[in-house]
Amino acid sequence: MLNIDLEVLSNISKSQFRNAVEQGYRRLRFDAVLEKQFLEFYTESHLTRTRLAGYLGIVMFALFTMIDIATMPAHVWPWTVSIRLGLVEPAFVVALIISYRTTWLTYLPRAVFGASLITGLGTVAIIGAALWQKFQIPYEGILLVALFIYLIVCLQWWRALLINLLILLAFILVEIVFQKDPQARLYQIVFMLAANAVGAYGGYFLEYSTRTGFLVNAMLNELAEHDGLTGLFNRRTLNIHLEKVWRQAMRDNQDVAIAMIDVDHFKKYNDRYGHGQGDVALKAVADVVANQARRPLDLPARYGGEEFVVVWYHPAASELPNMAENIRAAVAALGMTHEGSEFGTLSVSIGAALMRPSADHTYAELLRTADIALYEAKEQGRNQVVVHG
């Protein structure tokens, strides 16, 4: 069912989103972490539709209430109207109220589930009450409810299926107990089964398409934010992150540090071993860089060519030389042969700088300071660390 060009997919870095595409999701379920992200996306992206469905439900049941009063005998409509106004309408109202409270949005799927279940069982109760009072009412309403739950109210498919199965069981029970005409009973049950089959089919593919859209959008965002070769964040994302972190540090009165990393004699490496092996070397260095930025506000990025950057938020000033040295030592420990270098193996030079943001200092100054430190490290013989700040 999922049709994504394999060549395009191969250009996307390994991630939980790409893994989900490769593994498939015919059961409409991701792993726990990704499923949580999807549920947040699903609730937010369907919020307007959910609200419109709530308003539509209120209007429809208000209209049916007026029809009940106008067309039903006096001994019947009080039963049906009390169910519509006492159970169904309040359930819609509660779901709508929750949808407008930002702090309550995590409860919206449960509210929609409860409102849908009450609507379905309430409609069955209306049919049962009318039959109990020896009054036959049109059954089309229950068919509309089934389709409404599958296709309109933005419930996840498994939840919609569960609700409709419960409604179906309740409906069959009411038909067996109160419907005296066996032919009418058979037709109504068959119609209800057919409505569930159609609704379940349509609802399944609606959610499948939504999940596909979620994954595709996430992978497109990753392509826009990450470097295609190394999987690290790109320079555009680095600038956005630095601006955000700089503001955060100004509020918190904390330091920000940057390490600029340059692969020594990389042109000679490419010339000797070829661009394919050069890419392998850059990926290996990128993995080292990524491992040195694990805290939430830290960021590893490819700055361009053979240059990398690590942003550290609120590092201990005394530890900054060791943090930069850990990167240099880890690259050296890779032991990748580089006969064009005086060191014999692949190495990096690192310039690090630390600054406390203020109205007089920008992150561009921090970058320049780290770049100056990097220049000094290369001038002093490469394969070493220089720290400013």
Cβ(214)–Cβ(163) under 8 Å?
Answer: no
pLDDT band at 84 (very low <50, low <70, confident <90, very high): very high
Between CA 339 and CA 345 the distance in angstroms is 7
Whole-angstrom distance, CA of residue 334 vs CA of residue 338: 11
Contact call for residues 348 and 285 (beta carbons, < 8 A): yes
Average pLDDT over residues 340-348: 92
Model pLDDT, residue 7: 53
- How far apart CA 257 and CA 61 sit, in angstroms, is 61
- pLDDT, residue 1, reads 54
What is the pLDDT, as a whole number, of residue 137? Answer: 83
Asked whether the predicted pLDDT for residue 360 surpasses 70, the reply is yes
**Confidence check: pLDDT of 208 > 60:** yes
Bridge partners of residue 259, in order along the sequence? 310, 352
pLDDT, position 65: 94
Look at residue 9 and tell me whether its pLDDT is greater than 70: no
What local confidence, expressed as pLDDT, does residue 324 receive? 93
pLDDT at residue 220 tops 90: no
> Using CB atoms within 10 A of its CB, is residue 10 exposed (0-12), middle (13-18) or buried (19+)?
exposed
Average pLDDT for 371-389: 92
Element (H, E) at 78: helix 77-83
Residue 188 burial class via C-beta count within 10 angstroms: exposed 0-12, middle 13-18, buried 19 and up: buried
The percentage of residues in the chain with a pLDDT greater than 90, rounded to a whole number, is 74
* Structure token digits, residue 245: 């972190």
Q: What is the pLDDT of residue 112?
A: 96
**Segment 226-252, tens digit of pLDDT:** 887 888 889 989 999 999 999 999 999
Q: What is each CA distance from 183 to 9, 179, 187, 192, in whole angstroms?
A: 55, 10, 6, 14
CATH class, domain 235-388, is alpha beta
**Average pLDDT value for the chain:** 91
Mean pLDDT of 189-203: 94
Place of tokens 């109760």: 125
Pairing of strands 299-304, 385-388: unpaired
Element (H, E) at 152: none
- The ranges assigned to domains in the chain are 6-223, 235-388
Percentage of residues of the chain with pLDDT beyond 70 = 96
Provide the pLDDT for residue 197: 95
> Is residue 6's pLDDT more than 80?
no
pLDDT at residue 35 above 70?
yes
- pLDDT given for residue 16 in this prediction: 84
pLDDT at residue 89, as a whole number: 96
pLDDT of residue 10: 58
User: What is the model's pLDDT at position 11?
Assistant: 59
- For the stretch 361-374, pLDDT in tens is 888 999 999 999 99
Predicted pLDDT at 316 = 87
Amino acid of residue 59: V
Q: Are 282 and 237 in contact (CB under 8 A)?
A: no
Average pLDDT of the residues in 281-305: 91
The residues, ordered by sequence, that sit 6+ positions from 60 with a Cβ below 8 Å of its Cβ are: none
> What average pLDDT does this structure show over 106-130?
95
Q: How confident is the model at residue 222 (pLDDT cuts 50, 70, 90)?
A: confident
pLDDT score of 15: 76
User: Residue 263 and residue 246: Cα distance in Å, rounded?
Assistant: 27
Read off the pTM. Answer: 0.72
Q: Residue 256: in which H helix or E strand, if any?
A: strand 256-263
Q: What is the mean pLDDT of residues 323-351?
A: 93
CB 323 within 8 A of CB 315: yes
Q: Please report the pLDDT score of residue 50 as a whole number.
A: 95
Q: What is the mean pLDDT of residues 45-50?
A: 94
